[in-house]
Chain A
Amino acid sequence: MTLLQVTDLTLDVALPEGSGRVLRGVDLAVEQGGSIGLVGESGSGKSLTVRSIASLLPAGSRRGGSITFEGDEVLGMSPARLRRYRSSQLAMIFQDPRAAINPVRKIGDFLTENARTNLGWSRNRARDRAVEVLAEVGISDPERRLKAYPSELSGGLLQRVMIASTLLYEPQLLLADEPTTALDVTTQSSVMALIDRLRRERGMAMVFVSHDLELAAAVCDTILVMYAGRIVEQLPAGDLYEHSRHPYTRALLQARPRLDGREARLSAIPGQPASGLEDSTGCAFAPRCRFAIDQCRAETPLVVSVGSGGVRCLRADEDLWGAP
Chain B
Amino acid sequence: MTAPLVKAHSLRKVYGDFVAVDDVSFEVAAGGSLGIVGESGSGKTTVARMLVGLERPTSGRIEVGGQDCSKPARNSSGRWDRARNLQIVFQDPYSSLDPRQNIGGALREALGVAGLSKSETQARTEELLALVGLPRRVLDALPATLSGGQRQRVAIARALATQPRGLILDESVAALDVSIQAQILNLLADIREETGVSYVFVSHDLAVVRHVTDHVVVMKSGNIVERGETGAVLDHPQHPYTQMLRASVPGPGWVPGGGVNR
Contacts and interface: CB of A to CB of B under 8 A. Distances in A.
A189 B206 contact: no
Contacts of A189: 247-248, 256-260
B178 A252 contact: yes
Nearest to A252: B178
Contacts of B245: 185-186
Nearest to B179: A269
Interface string A138-162: 1000000000000000010000000
- Which of B148, B206, B207, B234 has the most chain A CB atoms closer than 10 A to its own CB? B207
Nearest to A184: B39
B207 A259 contact: yes
Contacts, number: 117
B251 to A, nearest CB: 6
Contact of B256 (A42, A193, A252, A265): A193
A268 interface: yes
Interface string B163-193: 0000000000000011111110110010000
Given A185-B249, A215-B250, A266-B211, A259 B257 contact: no
B244 A186 contact: yes
Q: Chain B at the A interface: mostly helix, strand, loop or mixed?
A: helix
Interface in B216-241: 231, 234-235
A158 to B, nearest CB: 13
Contacts of B148: 42
B210 interface: yes
Interface residues of B, number: 42
Contact of B208 (A193, A252, A257): A257
B252 A241 contact: yes
A188 interface: yes
Contact of B182 (A214, A267, A273): A267
A41 B177 contact: yes
Contacts of B250: 212, 214-215, 217-218
Interface of A: 41-42, 138, 155, 184-190, 192-194, 196, 211-215, 217-219, 241, 251-252, 255-263, 265-270, 272-273
Interface of B: 39-40, 147-149, 177-183, 185-186, 189, 204-208, 210-211, 231, 234-235, 244-252, 254-260, 262
The 4 closest A-B pairs by CB, nearest first: A193-B257, A257-B211, A268-B182, A192-B256
